[in-house]
A and B are shown apart, each in its own frame.
Chain A
Amino acid sequence: MKVLWFHLMPYTELPDDFRDNHHSVWVDIDSRLFDPQRAHRMYNDFFDELEFAAEVGFDGVCVNEHHNNGYGLMPSPNLIGSALARATQDAAILILGNSLGLYNPPLRVAEEMAMIDCISGGRMIAGFPIGTPMDTCFAYGQNPSTLRQRYLEAHDVIMRAWREEDVFPFNGRFNQLRYVNIWPRPVQKPHPPVWIPGGGANETLRWCVDNDYVFCALSYFGYDAAQGVLGAYRREIDAGGKEQNPFRSGYLQFVGVGETRAEAERIYREPAEYFYARCLHLFPGFTDAPGYRTESTIRRQLQASRPGGGVAALGTTGAPTLEDIVERGYLVLGEPDEVAERLREIARDLNVGNLMTLLQFGNMDRDTANHNTRLFAERVMPQIADLFEDEWEHCWWPSPMPRPERTAPQSVRAVAV
């Protein structure tokens, strides 16, 4: 199994009264809460945490894109990914990803990802989310009714730009380009692996199967939330006549590892409660936009008597205690052996070969995050890393240049000498 270390980059100093006296963590969050000098410290701590994870042996590091968001300080994951390409040597760099419908022309995504693939020597995984309504429709003003069509067209032009060797014109519904010819071009041929994070619209699942992409169930609500989506995905894999290879699925899980369960409860209580109470304090009106959900998704959710579903659940989490958060399975918490056992169960049960762990969450400080990361790497990872490895081939993992052909950063002094 591949184990990745995912950072959301949350602002760690939202005030105690955030839930009571602020409207929403996303879209119209009060900019006066943002202290750039504190953010200087946060960003650098976050880099330390990601680089530490790569150093202690995680298979990959993972970044994503959010806008106007108090728990995601990464409007541009490519900036972070690019720095990580320099600061790490072997870890895969999963950009999960760029919300394709936001970029005009989408060639910008093809170019920047190709740059990261070159800088990293072919270690990049290209993630293409549609993006949440909060990010795409409200923060970035994209029309929710055309968003998916734009996304699919952007995907088409990016993939062609990576694959085709000759300059070509592209006459799409939303993009007209006379000379598509990106420089630089990705190391990985014919293109870097493509992973699709999503909420689980049937159309998206089928499209992932048809295109042979990895589908990633990303939610903050653990196993229960992922079960339905990944079950539907497995049905689409069957329907598409493809193999139930666990490496074509990804799953995100909050994890808190302690030397003992008591220690884990003590050190992760505040960050977990901070995340669920403050970071998910979201105005429900921003969790959907007319046309964002497909008609078949709306129909399916109405038939199941679920008014919102998907991201709509974000606005209704309340302010759970650590006990609630663990009980509901949002956070897998405990000493290393019990965490490993639970993760094996989950991975087997969901048939997921790519585990994205959130080991820094909420207002967790760097030392605590690194403690969590080290315990996971040293005492959990060895118990789960073998999963699926003998049974299946991972066809969606980066194929970097051979190690001896890759260069590493040289200090200015070394170059001068």
Chain B
Amino acid sequence: MSGPKERSVEVNGHACRVWEKGDGDPLGVLPGIGGAPRWTPFLEMLSATRRVVAPSLPGFPGALGHDALDSHLDWMIAAHELLAGAGLEGADLVGVSVGGAVAADVAAIWPTLARRLVLISPYGLFDEDDTGVDPFAVRPPDIGRCLSADADAYDGVFGVPEDEDRVEWLVTLARAQEAAARILWPLGDTRLARRLHRIRIPTLLLWGDRDRVVPRSYADRFVAGLGGETRIEIIPDAGHLADIDRPAATAGAVREFLDRTNGSP
């Protein structure tokens, strides 16, 4: 497979990488915890039928500048500038995990920003009675087992490539963890619940059936809060990062949803 085209969007004076591949209407993707250190099989599969545009939020692989963002408002403005700069205004938007929290929030704050929304195990809410596992209290060697149900698939995305500098690769992953923590610490509750009702566009919620980090019950909480047409689908044999564990099933569910809701306003 050939790689994506790469360009960058400047946010607060820092270059943020934007990967792009495929033809047709743009489909924005905000990756999950750890970001996208590589072009992933999930992105590749989506690019078979759509023009996939995957920007990196500040601090995630390919982008710097997370340490200039102090408040949730700072993050939201940065995310909006990044998505707009990547040409994703009015596009369909997929967000995974921390990217899901950000995608949902920008869709709520700027209701015309996204056309349709796919949230894959999104953060953003917190339930004291069903907390899930804290991925920030896990040492780096154990993080894969926490986030993923498929060690090989996880390693295929996050493992150190043979031709890369090991130290710099691991520093990049550590920086991505920091950026995620900067948005989500300590609970992952971004107060999104106060804004969810503003999302009136069709929204698909995808959940790995073995997600230990954001429990399945959160899908129901999202559905209860969202203001438009919603649907929950479960991806079998997948952990928190379903896009990485089961790329074909996840990309298939995204494609089916986008086909089915085509023609929605």
A interface residue numbers (CB < 8 A to B): 137-138, 141-146, 149, 173-174, 283-291, 295, 298-299, 302-303, 307-308, 312
* Residue contact B181 to A285, C-beta cutoff 8 Å: no
Given A285-B139, A302-B170, A308-B139, A143–B185 Cβ distance below 8 Å? yes
Given A138-B137, A302-B170, A144–B185 Cβ distance below 8 Å? yes
Whole-angstrom CA separation of A173 from B71 in the bound complex? 10
Given A290-B174, A298-B171, A141–B67 Cβ distance below 8 Å? no
* Residue contact A284 to B139, C-beta cutoff 8 Å: yes
Q: A137-B185, A291-B178, A299-B171 are in contact. List 14 more A-B contacts (CB 8 A).
A: A143-B181, A143-B182, A149-B67, A284-B139, A285-B138, A290-B136, A290-B178, A291-B182, A295-B175, A298-B174, A302-B167, A302-B170, A302-B171, A307-B141
* Residue contact A303 to B186, C-beta cutoff 8 Å: no
* Residue contact B181 to A295, C-beta cutoff 8 Å: no
Whole-angstrom CA separation of A368 from B235 in the bound complex? 62
| 11 chain-A/chain-B pairs, Cβ below 8 angstroms | A144-B178, A173-B70, A285-B138, A285-B139, A289-B136, A289-B185, A290-B174, A290-B180, A295-B175, A299-B167, A302-B171
Q: Across the A-B interface, how many residue pairs have beta carbons closer than 8 Å?
A: 71
Interface residue ranges of B159-181 to A (CB < 8 Å)? 166-167, 170-171, 174-175, 177-181
In this complex, what residue of A is CB-closest to B70? A173
* Residue contact B186 to A295, C-beta cutoff 8 Å: no
In this complex, what residue of A is CB-closest to B33? A290
B186 CB, nearest partner CB in chain A, Å: 4
List, in ascending order, chain B residues with CB within 8 A of A144's CB.
136, 178, 181, 185
B3 beta carbon closer than 8 Å to chain A: no
Whole-angstrom CA separation of A149 from B136 in the bound complex? 20
* Residue contact B137 to A145, C-beta cutoff 8 Å: no
B66 beta carbon closer than 8 Å to chain A: yes
In this complex, what residue of A is CB-closest to B142? A285
A151 CB, nearest partner CB in chain B, Å: 14
List, in ascending order, chain A residues with CB within 8 A of B186's CB.
137-138, 141, 143
List, in ascending order, chain A residues with CB within 8 A of B132's CB.
none
Interface residue ranges of B66-97 to A (CB < 8 Å)? 66-67, 70
Interface residue ranges of B168-220 to A (CB < 8 Å)? 170-171, 174-175, 177-182, 185-186
* Residue contact A288 to B139, C-beta cutoff 8 Å: yes
**Most A CB atoms within 10 A — which of B67, B142, B179, B185?**
B185
* Residue contact B174 to A295, C-beta cutoff 8 Å: yes
B interface residue numbers (CB < 8 A to A): 66-67, 70, 134, 136-142, 166-167, 170-171, 174-175, 177-182, 185-186
In this complex, what residue of B is CB-closest to A300? B167
Whole-angstrom CA separation of A149 from B177 in the bound complex? 18
List, in ascending order, chain B residues with CB within 8 A of A295's CB.
171, 174-175
Whole-angstrom CA separation of A287 from B142 in the bound complex? 14
* Residue contact A145 to B178, C-beta cutoff 8 Å: yes
In this complex, what residue of B is CB-closest to A284? B139
* Residue contact A145 to B185, C-beta cutoff 8 Å: yes
Among candidates B70, B166, B177, residue contacting A174 with C-beta atoms closer than 8 Å? B70
* Residue contact A303 to B167, C-beta cutoff 8 Å: yes
List, in ascending order, chain A residues with CB within 8 A of B66's CB.
145
A310 CB, nearest partner CB in chain B, Å: 13
Whole-angstrom CA separation of A137 from B136 in the bound complex? 10
In this complex, what residue of A is CB-closest to B187? A141
List, in ascending order, chain B residues with CB within 8 A of A302's CB.
166-167, 170-171
List, in ascending order, chain B residues with CB within 8 A of A289's CB.
136-137, 181, 185
A73 CB, nearest partner CB in chain B, Å: 23
In this complex, what residue of B is CB-closest to A141? B186
* Residue contact A146 to B140, C-beta cutoff 8 Å: no
Whole-angstrom CA separation of A141 from B138 in the bound complex? 16
List, in ascending order, chain B residues with CB within 8 A of A288's CB.
139
**Most B CB atoms within 10 A — which of A286, A287, A291, A295?**
A291
In this complex, what residue of B is CB-closest to A28? B137
List, in ascending order, chain A residues with CB within 8 A of B171's CB.
295, 298-299, 302
List, in ascending order, chain B residues with CB within 8 A of A142's CB.
185
List, in ascending order, chain B residues with CB within 8 A of A312's CB.
139
List, in ascending order, chain B residues with CB within 8 A of A286's CB.
137
B45 CB, nearest partner CB in chain A, Å: 29
List, in ascending order, chain A residues with CB within 8 A of B139's CB.
284-285, 287-288, 307-308, 312
Whole-angstrom CA separation of A364 from B52 in the bound complex? 64
Given A173-B70, A285-B137, A299-B167, A145–B182 Cβ distance below 8 Å? yes
A104 CB, nearest partner CB in chain B, Å: 14
List, in ascending order, chain A residues with CB within 8 A of B185's CB.
137, 141-145, 289
Given A286-B137, A299-B167, A291–B181 Cβ distance below 8 Å? yes
In this complex, what residue of A is CB-closest to B166? A302
Whole-angstrom CA separation of A291 from B69 in the bound complex? 13
In this complex, what residue of A is CB-closest to B175? A295
Whole-angstrom CA separation of A141 from B188 in the bound complex? 12
List, in ascending order, chain B residues with CB within 8 A of A284's CB.
139
List, in ascending order, chain B residues with CB within 8 A of A287's CB.
139
List, in ascending order, chain A residues with CB within 8 A of B67's CB.
145, 149
Whole-angstrom CA separation of A146 from B167 in the bound complex? 23
